[in-house]
Structure 1
Amino acid sequence: MRKIAFFLPLFAILLTVACKNTSKNTSAAERRKQDSLEKVKKAEEEAREAERTRPRTAADIKLDKDIKFEKYNLEDTYPYEDTTRVFQFDKIKERLAYIETFQAQKINYGVLQNYKNRNREAPVVENYVRNAYKRVSDTLGNERYQSAPLYREENSKKPSIYGRDGSLVRIESADTLDMVKVTGISFEGTWFVPKRYVKTKGDSIKIEHVAFVDVTNQNICVVERTGENEWKIRSMNPATSGRHKPPHAMETPVGMFFVQEQKAKMFYYKDGTTSIEGFAPYATRFTNGAYIHGVPVNNPKGKIIEYSWSLGTTPRSHMCVRNASSHAKYVYDNFKPFQSVVVVID
């Protein structure tokens, strides 16, 4: 009995040590398992983030038709006089991929604004020319009138180029009282701009509607975002863009612009006067004095005209983009300022 009594405490000690070793081994195994799970989770998160921010290409874009109009619709390819016109879906998908790419990034958005020089006439650039309209322009063809000055350095004495009214920018910093550092979304490069020309829009903007104006084929395609990389075509209609005819009529500028304001009726002057000649219905302004609007009515008190034979023919406007009035109303009703974009392609 004494021998048994002697071995019982020893057995208890050995059992305790064994349990502790087992516990340690179990804890170590659990930690290794937890570390492994965390590594897998981190790798998955990094993979998702890499995919989310990966530059999109035209091949990533799913673009399907869901037309909202019964009249004036055009086919992908259609005859015009003795030629053939098309909707340039390759370019449209490329621009949509670009929009998807910068929307996936954490961007503090801004828009350049100087409609009718409301934020002060921009200074003359270093190297300027006078265009066919006898107005000061930079060497890229951007006019001083209604534009924002873009400086290479914060302390530059003169701007290098002009940024068009309505251009999208990424706000990089605003470290000084007077200047904002921006990177162009609508144009290339990083620049400094006086604050008064930049309207900050924050980082929560989601672009859901885009209108593609084709100044070569004289048509317009409106699309709506329905999911990540997924867009629906809502209309494919004839349009008429601006023409080069100094001193009053100008081409619709190629580029990407925020919708900035809308008017149920946009009254316009007779060329060279301050007398109101008529109005354009359902007008959506995107840059300078360029609007997407319905058929012009050459009578300030006249009734809205739905369609014109001139739509989809040759450039005839003063810079604006004419549509069937019902189509212009669709844009007017669905495109929200600073959340919708007009892209002009050639």
Structure 2
Amino acid sequence: MYKKITLILMVVLMVIVPGCSAYRRSVPPSETPPPRQQSTPSGDLTKEDRLAKSDLEAVEENINGYNIEDDLRITQTTEQEEENRISCLSEEQKAQVLENIGSKRMNTVLEEYDSPLPETINASIQYFQYDMAFDYFLITAEDGAEIRENPIPDATVVDRVENLDKVSLLQRVEGEELEGSEIWYRVAFANGDEINEGYLHSTTGTPRNFRFERMQNAINQLKQQVDEGNLHFISNYKNQNGAPPQEGDAAVDEYGYRVYHSAPAYEQADTDSDFRYIPDGMLIRILEETDAFYYVNVPTFDGDYYIPKQYIDPDVTLSQLNHVVVVDRNQQNQASFEVSEQGLNLVSYTLSTTGIPGDFSFETTLGTYKAIEKRDRFEYLQSGTQDIAGYAPFAIRFTGGAYIHGVPVAYEEQDGEKVDPGLIEYLHTIGTFPRSNMCVRNFTSHVEFLYNWMDIQNGAVIVIE
């Protein structure tokens, strides 16, 4: 019997080792790859299990809701079509435009976009790569749009924007009717060193902004919870602590939370009672315990439930809140904050892309999560196969196999081997609409900043709507 098991293990190893050795990294001379690091202890394994973890366990399911090649193609096409790239103004530049703005013919101002940073948040920005105004306009017209001098259809064209471009928002105005709407948006933008402004009709895009007050409220609620006592979190990454029970064939419950990577939350201390799922990483508070269950409060759900004990490590807690990333699923942006005695310090704000629900992808679920671990990179599979398709750099895991990470990199094939073509900084689709599979996609330089900045021991990730 033992000889038979040994033989099987040897065959498995012979299959795995050649497959792993086929991956080599071809590094451009200008690029220095980040060092391979052991994952930060997550608390969801015993000490012995953590030491036994291998790099192969860092492979995740496909992290892309859409084929990443589509995002790369959109990015390349947009850049090729625009001789002069239009860009959003910085908050400081936009403030100067608003200060000197004048009225225009056929222009009735309905709203001025001048969202300030709340006085209770200190501006301590440490990342400046994509400095942009707090209020902006996302172009959704498939063929792009013309920015006009006045809010009338036949006004002089000032410049042109392409699909998924972002420009700074100044005002919402009432102008001449077009396609059944009299609403226009006055916008500002940079074209090279020149700053200009004009009008876009409401049918060409949608207003967006960084909702700092809502982010602040979410952090303050979490801080109050931590101040009241240590918080724990659900631990069932890849069902390592046991697959939860499943009713039917659905991959998610009625609230959109996945069966996989979750724990069952029972209404009674009885596995025959009704239950819902609580995802890996979600913060909870232990109220009581029985022989088999922890009775917990789940702030995200505003309810109390019984959780089987194997899904919570009582020795690993969030006892102090230092760093928080808030992801705004509705606006497709995010901000990072330091929590100090003097209040909140805004250290970065940027665009992001969250998960889309679909046949082969899941949305980024709402809630308050522990920042569980960092990985300098992790690999992901091609959908429907066990073949490794590529990797994501500078990853911070916060629930299940969901990370905040940089632009995914698909391996290229050369001479029968998978080769790393190098990091990709930018996608034009970031900050537009959900396109990933649960993960939160960032510009690579920004998530590298987060990777180095985040206090993984005392950090959290909050996803708001």
TM-score after normalising by structure 2: 0.56
Relative contact order, CA 8 A, sep 6+: which one is greater? 2
Residue 138 of structure 1 and its aligned partner are, at CA, apart by 3.1
Matched, 1:303 2:303: no
Q: What aligned pairs does 1:182-221 form with structure 2 within 5 A after superposition?
A: 182-201=296-315, 205-221=319-335
List per-residue Cα deviations over 1:259-298 (Å, max 9, x = no partner).
Answer: 1122101111111111111111001111121100011111
Distance 2:366 2:317 in 1: 26
Q: What aligned pairs does 1:251-290 form with structure 2 within 5 A after superposition?
A: 251-290=363-402
Residue of structure 1 in register with 2:243 after alignment: 121
Distance 1:263 1:204 in 2: 20
Residue of structure 1 in register with 2:214 after alignment: 91
TM-score after normalising by structure 1: 0.75
Question: 316, 334, 345: which is aligned to 1:232?
Answer: 345
Change in Cα spacing, 1:235 to 1:129, as seen in structure 2 (3 Å) is: farther
Q: Percent identical across equivalent pairs?
A: 31
Residue 154 of structure 1 and its aligned partner are, at CA, apart by 1.6
Residue 156 of structure 1 and its aligned partner are, at CA, apart by 4.5
Change in Cα spacing, 1:271 to 1:206, as seen in structure 2 (3 Å) is: same
Residue of structure 2 in register with 1:339 after alignment: 458
The structure in which a higher percent of residues are helix is: 1
Change in Cα spacing, 1:202 to 1:293, as seen in structure 2 (3 Å) is: closer
Matched, 1:72 2:130: yes
Q: What aligned pairs does 1:100-139 form with structure 2 within 5 A after superposition?
A: 100-105=223-228, 107-124=229-246, 128=247, 130=249, 134-135=250-251, 137-139=252-254
Amino acid corresponding to residue 285 of structure 2 in structure 1: R
Residue 159 of structure 1 and its aligned partner are, at CA, apart by 4.4
Distance 1:279 1:156 in 2: 39
Runs of 4+ residues deviating >4 angstroms: 201-204
User: Which stretches in structure 1 are left out of the alignment for 5+ residues?
Assistant: 1-59
Is this contact kept in 2: 1:111–1:201, CA < 8 A? no
Residue 174 of structure 1 and its aligned partner are, at CA, apart by 2.7
Is this contact kept in 2: 1:61–1:93, CA < 8 A? no
Change in Cα spacing, 1:314 to 1:155, as seen in structure 2 (3 Å) is: closer
Amino acid corresponding to residue 379 of structure 2 in structure 1: F
User: Which stretches in structure 2 are left out of the alignment for 5+ residues?
Assistant: 1-117, 140-204, 412-418
Residue 153 of structure 1 and its aligned partner are, at CA, apart by 1.9
Distance 1:167 1:119 in 2: 15
Residue 334 of structure 1 and its aligned partner are, at CA, apart by 2.3
Matched, 1:174 2:289: yes
3-state SS in 1 of match to 2:447: helix
Residue 61 of structure 1 and its aligned partner are, at CA, apart by 8.2
Distance 2:421 2:402 in 1: 22
Amino acid corresponding to residue 171 of structure 1 in structure 2: I
CA RMSD of aligned residues (A): 2.0
Residue 104 of structure 1 and its aligned partner are, at CA, apart by 2.0
Residue of structure 1 in register with 2:354 after alignment: 241
List per-residue Cα deviations over 1:209-239 (Å, max 9, x = no partner).
Answer: 11111122111111111225x0111111111
- What is the aligned residue count? 276
Is this contact kept in 2: 1:212–1:222, CA < 8 A? yes
Residue 203 of structure 1 and its aligned partner are, at CA, apart by 6.5
Is this contact kept in 1: 2:232–2:317, CA < 8 A? no
